[in-house]
């Protein structure tokens, strides 16, 4: 368990009655309103691993069809480990963030080599798998092995911050250790599976970053942030509630640019096109350029080569003098 660290006494001794009510209300709501998701009908650690990797930075609705397709193509962790990387990427496309497919296969191969094909069931061992962080390790331990462990992603932290900490406008952002400590403090004994799933559903459907649906929230009465905002307005507006996202989800400023002009967009287009090229066939960069970029010019060749070299370094393509192909 993570030990509390001082951040202006953020970690309080929660009133037992309040915490019990939060547990009761949220779990009752989840029993009635839980989303019907295929990875919730299994405790297969491999299937859980696949779902967690796919759900990183990707909406559930986009993951659903690809999850079934991927498990049909690679039904076991051994199948995934022994497959060609080109086949893995081809099945993954067009889910996006294709590096996740390479990382997932790398994890599968490490499990085969170091754990005899058995995904480990402890946080400590799961964290030895390259590409698995504390949240994913917790998800596998909890959802596959029913371990009583806490986990924190952006959605869960937002829910915790609003329910237990409120606005806290004068406090600095919580560290990762502090977030996990809070999650462990409020974890209901013996109910980790439903509790963690309920938190995810609440954060995804009601306690959202923008325009939270407070009127529908089962924890409205027990939400410290809602109570604080109600002091200023009987019915806190969506604009007021969005203050919370700036507290609980501080992000670095970025310069907006059209997605279709980003390197990530063109990286995806390169991989997507290579999936349609006959196996083993290379395509020269001079031919690839006009395919992925409508206004491709000769001076863009250096930029394209740098993109391809980075893709090769990430294990997503095989690049040689005569052109590029899937690995």
Q: Which residues are catalytic?
A: 52
Phi, psi angles (nearest 5°) of residue 297: -125, 165
CA distance from start to end of the chain: 41
- The two structure tokens encoding residue 24: 């009761």
- 94 upstream amide cis, omega within 30 of 0: yes
Answer yes or no: are the C-beta atoms of 144 and 48 closer than 8 Å.
Answer: yes
State which H helix or E strand residue 324 sits in. strand 323-325
Could you tell me the two tokens for 268? 């995806």
Measure the CA–CA gap between 220 and 215, rounded to whole angstroms: 7
Cβ atoms of 111 and 77 closer than 8 Å: yes
Is 45 within 8 Å of 245 (Cβ atoms)?
A: no
> What is the rounded distance in angstroms from the CA atom of residue 228 to the CA atom of residue 257?
37
């Amino acid at each position: 368990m993570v030990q509390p660290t001082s951040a202006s006494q953020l970690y309080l001794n929660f009133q037992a009655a309040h915490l019990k009510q939060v547990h009761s209300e949220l779990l009752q709501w989840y029993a009635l309103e839980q989303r019907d998701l295929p990875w919730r009908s299994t405790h297969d650690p491999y299937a859980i691993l696949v779902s967690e990797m796919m759900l990183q930075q990707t909406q559930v609705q986009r993951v659903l069809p690809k999850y079934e397709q991927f498990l049909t193509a690679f039904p076991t962790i051994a199948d995934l480990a022994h497959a060609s990387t080109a086949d893995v990427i081809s099945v993954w496309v067009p889910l996006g963030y294709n590096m996740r497919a390479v990382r997932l296969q790398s994890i599968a191969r490490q499990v085969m080599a170091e754990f005899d094909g058995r995904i480990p069931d402890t946080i400590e061992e799961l964290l030895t798998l390259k590409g698995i962080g504390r949240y994913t390790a917790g998800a596998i331990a909890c959802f596959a092995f029913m371990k009583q462990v806490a986990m924190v992603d952006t959605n869960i932290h937002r829910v915790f911050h609003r329910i237990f900490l409120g606005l806290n406008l004068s406090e600095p952002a919580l560290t990762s250790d502090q977030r996990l400590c809070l999650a462990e403090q409020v974890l209901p004994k013996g109910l980790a599976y439903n509790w963690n799933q309920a938190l995810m559903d609440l954060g995804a459907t009601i306690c959202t970053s923008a325009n939270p649906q407070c009127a529908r929230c089962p924890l409205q009465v027990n939400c410290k942030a809602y109570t604080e905002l109600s002091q200023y307005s009987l019915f806190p507006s969506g604009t007021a509630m969005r203050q919370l996202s700036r507290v609980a989800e501080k992000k670095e400023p970025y310069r907006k640019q059209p997605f279709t002009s980003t390197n990530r967009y063109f990286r995806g287009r390169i991989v997507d096109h290579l999936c349609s090229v006959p196996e083993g066939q290379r395509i020269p960069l001079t031919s690839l350029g006009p395919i992925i970029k409508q206004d491709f010019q000769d001076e863009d060749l250096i930029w394209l080569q740098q993109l391809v070299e980075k893709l090769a370094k990430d294990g997503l393509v095989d690049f040689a003098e005569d052109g590029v192909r899937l690995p």
